[in-house]
Amino acid sequence: MTVATIKRILKSDESSSSSSSSLFRDNAISLHVSVPCPLKVRLKMTLEQFIDEYNQTHYTPVHCPTIMENGPHSIEDIMATAQHEDDLPDVWVANSYHTSFSQPFRSRFIDSGIYQGITKEEWLPLLQDGFRDLAEHHNIGFLAFGSWSAVADLSVAGEEAVYPKTWTDMTEDAFKGKIGIHGCQGHATGSALLMVLRERMGVEGISKFSSNLGQIGHFSKIIKAMDSSDASRPMINIMPSAAIQQIPSKKRVAELALQDGPILTPVMLFVKRSKLDQVKDILSFIWSDTFRNVLALGGILMPDQLNWSNPYTLPDLKQITIRDFNDLSEELDVEFMKGLSPELKA
């Protein structure tokens, strides 16, 4: 092994150690909250105020890497390689399946019971069957639910145009090139939608859908193009609720009332079992009106705020209990890429 190789390994180890250690402080409770990016500024302000007040009245302070300046780019990336519970935040609010349902992480920390999924007892009867099963039998805690919906740009075709009535309709030839979706670098981030299409139509449903896409871009780019002179703007745009809440009211758009309803996306809550007694006041804050109001800015509602009589679409949640979600996402992405136009693949 060369000196240069040894130095590179040591530098890599130091960087990894530095990133990991910055998540935690000795004799402090670590809190990490992950929310969609449109909410991050407001979340930071709210967390800073709470932590300042909390630390003035409690012997053991809260340390929150979520609001650290120049902190780790992705705390979940670091968590995914954790080997011990000391490598994890004590309280974790998660808005993605990618870490919590990756097979190694889940078996090591969730199935083992090191992390306790926390769902308020009175909320369990409200949940749809798939989510309630995860809460009661798979140790997943649910704090709130956002959604993915479709928004029509009325400046493209007007209110009288023919729009899809269900998610499955979006695979029809009539919508070729007329759909845009939030994503980055040629990839859709709506994995739940792709799961639903595969369940209903088989794998060809995914490629039929992606062949209808005329645009993939960050939600900010999609919103900017809405009701503009951009000739390439799609007639229909699929985005998460947090992005839809950012659309200026002056834009001539309308959220489609699909017969099968929005696709629900959970915000999950986990606490280390060993810390349950120490974090009661933190949980009270997470369930408080203050925190509810932050989430609501992104159209993310706690279970007792949702109207469960409305239709909602769910993917086959049992799949993510028996599969590594990252492997599943890669399979979905392969089918997704098959249908994309060459321009979107570039």
Which pLDDT score is estimated for 20? 47
The answer to whether 140 and 268 have CB atoms below 8 angstroms apart is: yes
Nearest to residue 235, comparing CAs of 174, 313, 166?
174
* CATH number of the domain to which 239 belongs: 3.40.190.10
> Which structure tokens are listed for 218?
């960050």
3 found inside a domain = no
Q: Give 46-81 as a DSSP string.
A: HHHHHHHHHHHH-SSPEE-GGG-TT--S-HHHHHTT
78 found inside a domain = yes
97 found inside a domain = yes
Which pLDDT score is estimated for 70? 47
Which pLDDT score is estimated for 75? 81
305 found inside a domain = yes
Per-residue pLDDT of 67-86, as tens digits, reads 765 455 578 888 888 899 99
7 found inside a domain = no
Domain containing 23 equals 18-145+264-328
Which pLDDT score is estimated for 3? 34
Beta strand segments in the chain, E = 29-33, 62-63, 91-94, 115-117, 142-153, 179-184, 187-188, 213-217, 236-240, 253-255, 263-272
Q: Which residue intervals of 25-165 are DSSP H helices?
A: 40-57, 75-79, 97-100, 103-105, 129-137, 154-157
Question: Within this chain, do residues 238 and 101 fall inside the same structural domain, yes or no?
Answer: no
Question: Within this chain, do residues 293 and 337 fall inside the same structural domain, yes or no?
Answer: no
DSSP 8-state assignment for residue 313: B
Which pLDDT score is estimated for 18? 41
Which pLDDT score is estimated for 8? 34
Question: Within this chain, do residues 157 and 249 fall inside the same structural domain, yes or no?
Answer: yes
Q: By three-state DSSP, how is residue 235 classified?
A: coil
Which pLDDT score is estimated for 19? 43
Give pLDDT < 70 ranges for the chain. 1-22, 68-73, 184-189
Domain count, the chain: 2
